[in-house]
Amino acid sequence: MGQVCARRGAGAWYSLCLYAVGGRPDAGAMTSDSNDTNNAKTSSDATGDAGVGLLGGKVVFITGASRGIGEAAARLFAAEGASVVLAARSTDALDRVVREIRADGGVADAVALDLADPASIRAAVGRVGELHGRLDGAFNNGAAVQQPGPVGSTSDEDIDRQFTVNFRAHWTAMNAEVALMRRGGGGAIVNTSSIGSRRANPALPAYGAMKRALNSLTETAAVDLGPAGVRVNGIAPGGTATRMIDEWEAATPGIVEGITASVPLGRMAAPREVAEAAAWLLSDRASYVTGAILPVDGGAGA
């Protein structure tokens, strides 16, 4: 069954895996709890947890920081020298991560944020201004997954949620972030897209459409904001072992096995590996990169 999913284009990757894989993943399939047991080497294996100062002196705002890729990013960016401001709805989870970053010597704060509410987004970015007086980097990463299913079965409620949380929120956030970045003469933004944005996505059609719209916005903002010294890029992760994948697996048993089989590197990403790409794009080491949508997918979209 894994061969059915392997080595197809990104859209076919999702659709074939969704429709062709049956049953629960076998014991060797990766879940978010088993990620580190996979045989391929991860970036934290390769680099350890000690940072190299990639983001030293920068103030970075991170949405979706209560778990998954955003949480990993908050820990990584702080280890790389950034003062981080973590945002999501789950304030208990944010407070736990902030406490742990501070215990490791990092600088971190939390702010409550509902991506469905533009006023909440503006207030959260405003809080960054109160805390630090400036903003150097923003990782617009928070998102929700839709109920999997074809176009005809996607509910109006799901379409609205995908639009507000996965697309409009990032538009609103970027405008607020750029206003703060301009005070410091520029900055860098990274928006989290998805491999599911690249081609047809019959498994997650509203999610895929909003992620593709986000790619367009990312490219347009890069052109708009280049003269202001703000770089804007996107990352397009493939399957990454987080709660989002767990939710998809619960709705579509076997999807983890199918995704894993489609990845040339033979495993899903650890959240930290995706965060590493965002860290580089936010850093001055990516000073001539803007308007790019960088795949971070183990080769699945190649």
Ligand X SMILES: NC(=O)c1ccc[n+]([C@@H]2O[C@H](COP(=O)([O-])OP(=O)(O)OC[C@H]3O[C@@H](n4cnc5c(N)ncnc54)[C@H](OP(=O)(O)O)[C@@H]3O)[C@@H](O)[C@H]2O)c1
Given candidates 115, 135, 230, 263, which one binds ligand X under the rule CB under 6 A? 115
Name the minimum Å distance from CB 286 to ligand X.
19
Question: Could you say whether residue 64 binds ligand X (CB under 6 A)?
Answer: yes
Question: SS3 of 227, please?
Answer: helix
Name the minimum Å distance from CB 111 to ligand X.
11
CA dihedral 237, 239, 242, 244 (to 10 degrees): 90
Question: Could you say whether residue 116 binds ligand X (CB under 6 A)?
Answer: yes
Pick the stretch among 67-75, 175-183, 225-233, 283-291 that binds ligand X (CB under 6 A): 67-75
Question: Could you say whether residue 90 binds ligand X (CB under 6 A)?
Answer: yes
Given candidates 10, 76, 143, 230, which one binds ligand X under the rule CB under 6 A? 143
Contact call for residues 268 and 10 (beta carbons, < 8 A)? no
Give the C-alpha separation, 275 to 301, whole Å. 18
Give the C-alpha separation, 1 to 18, whole Å. 11
Given candidates 15, 38, 141, 162, which one binds ligand X under the rule CB under 6 A? 141
Question: Could you say whether residue 278 binds ligand X (CB under 6 A)?
Answer: no
Given candidates 149, 237, 258, 301, which one binds ligand X under the rule CB under 6 A? 237
Give CA separation, 255 vs 13, 37, 136, 157, 280, in Å.
Answer: 11, 19, 38, 24, 30
Return the number of other C-beta atoms located less than 10 Å from residue 107's C-beta. 16
Contact call for residues 62 and 77 (beta carbons, < 8 A)? yes
Given candidates 74, 210, 245, 277, which one binds ligand X under the rule CB under 6 A? 245
Given candidates 69, 98, 176, 300, which one binds ligand X under the rule CB under 6 A? 69
How many of the chain's residues bind ligand X (CB under 6 A)? 30
Give the C-alpha separation, 210 to 164, whole Å. 9
Give the C-alpha separation, 51 to 111, whole Å. 24
The string of DSSP codes covering 97-138 is: HHHHHHHTT-EEEEEE--TT-HHHHHHHHHHHHHHHS---EE
Pick the stretch among 6-14, 128-136, 190-198, 280-288 that binds ligand X (CB under 6 A): 190-198
Q: Contacts with ligand X in 147-166 (CB under 6 A)?
A: 165
Footprint on this chain of ligand X (rule: CB under 6 A): 64-70, 88-90, 93, 113-116, 141-144, 165, 192, 194-195, 237, 239-240, 242-245
Active site residues: 207
